[in-house]
Amino acid sequence: MDGSSEGNGPAGEQSAAAGLVGAISTCTKEQKQQILELPGEGDQWKKKTQQIERQLKCLAFQNPGPLLADFNPETREQQKKACLSMINQDCFNNTKKLVKKYDKHGRLLSSKADLCDCLEKNCLGCFYPCPKCNSTKCGAECRCNRKWVYDQIQIEAGPVIRFPF
């Protein structure tokens, strides 16, 4: 090192940029050509100087203004909670209310049929007895007061059995 004050990082770049701007603005045309090692007159010279000036402007410090000085984390947290509550209200208010599909005895409310969960109309019950209602027509979940039905059953490489009603 020769003892010059070259800095690394943003502060060093800013001071170097400020020094370079001052040096370039006070130089004569011949000195600028020697510093930048550019050919003589022409568009290349103008483009190169404009490019350097743009880069120097980007390196200069830009004051963020009162945004960071007036930052209050408590206010920010309140604003965030307000936004989240508004989003949650909009998203969850539109949910449909589930309507029961089966009555208390496990029969379909739409057709009063006692349909097995295998979706076969004439099935007498092909599951183990339900621990809640002791019916052999309940599948994985008891049919009594259930709010959903099986739309279809698809077995690998087999036919698709659809809800008959």
Joined together, the tokens standing for residue 17 give 């940029």
Give CA separation, 162 vs 43, 128, 153, in Å.
76, 22, 6
Domain extent listing, the chain? 10-59, 98-165
pTM score: 0.41
Q: What is the pLDDT along the chain (165 residues), one digit of tens a residue?
A: 444 444 445 555 455 545 555 555 566 666 666 666 555 566 888 888 899 999 988 888 888 777 777 788 898 899 999 988 888 776 666 556 678 899 999 999 988 899 999 998 899 999 999 999 999 999 999 999 999 999 988 888 888 888 887
Joined together, the tokens standing for residue 20 give 């370079």
